[in-house]
Amino acid sequence: MPELPEVEVSRMGITPHILQQTVTKVNIHNPNMRWPVPDEVYQIANLPVLAVGRRAKYLLLECKLGSVILHLGMSGNLRVVEQGEPLKKHDHIEFIFDNSKVLRLNDPRRFGCCLWQAFGECHSLFSKLGPEPLTDKFTAKRVYEQSRNKKLPVKQFIMDNAVVVGVGNIYANESLFKAGIHPQREAGKISLVRYQQLVSIIKDTLAAAIIQGGTTLKDFAQSDGKPGYFAQELLVYGRKGEPCMVCKKALTEIRLGQRSTVYCSQCQK
């Protein structure tokens, strides 16, 4: 699944092509996404896109009446193409602009979504989300206070969107390794000092991924079709059995919350 850096890279990739451009037409070729595409999405037609935002892993095409909410699901991607370019298989939704550009949502598995949020309202998807990880609202003090008495493994804790949004499986693995924290440690037993280190590392890891263009996932492509390349720098994720880059001991893989979790039993305590 595309993680926050991939979604942010998509946002940055499509913004120059559609910002302040007027949507002349919306084509919904297949409304059967994760949730049915509501008719309200058509309200963006004949209006300019005033901003291209992101909340967690959701993108928002903002206009004066509200926002179209887009999610890439497990295997979706957004492409900006020229008007008249033939549709590809699994191109389910497209927004046509007055500059002859077309924004297309392609999603083979249809786990993504296209929804509507009216101006001044907060969609139910966003009502219980925690802070964005790259903002000042994501602090070690807040995480530490939320973690008290929590017996949940710390990896699952930092992947909880009520704690912080957008720390998915890849970057949770990487951040815990860099912080030297065992992924199975109870969240409530980690000190403030260690959370200060972990929060700083999460911020740095996500920021680096965004700068470098996102992690390469086999089903993901940026809006220009070029793959990301942050995967070249992954220290533990996907490296089960390979030597730790610090101590050379073979990395261990377990399942936490039904997600692959790779760590070094010597470096992470």
The single residue listed with the structure tokens 């039993």 is 265
Q: Is 3 a catalytic residue?
A: yes
Catalytic pick from 25, 110, 150, 259? 259
Q: Is 259 a catalytic residue?
A: yes
- CA dist 45 and 91 (Å) reads 19
Q: Is 2 a catalytic residue?
A: yes
Catalytic pick from 2, 5, 153, 183? 2
- CA dist 183 and 12 (Å) reads 32
Catalytic pick from 11, 57, 155, 178? 57
Cα-Cα-Cα-Cα dihedral sign, residues 250, 260, 217, 267: negative
Instruction: For residue 13, give the nearest of 2, 27, 29 by alpha carbon.
Output: 2
Exposure pattern of 189-222 as b/e (b: 16+ CB <10 Å)? ebeeebbbbbbebbbebbeebbebbbbebeebbb
- CA dist 16 and 123 (Å) reads 26
Question: Sheet harboring 113-118: ordered strands across?
Answer: 51-55, 58-63, 66-71, 113-118
List phi, psi (to 5°) of 235: -90, -30
- CA dist 244 and 252 (Å) reads 10
Catalytic pick from 3, 6, 94, 174? 3
Tokens for 151? 């017996």
Instruction: For residue 154, give the nearest of 178, 196, 192, 183 by alpha carbon.
Output: 183
The single residue listed with the structure tokens 């989300």 is 129
- Tell me the three state secondary structure of residue 143: helix
Q: List residues with catalytic annotation.
A: 2-3, 57, 259
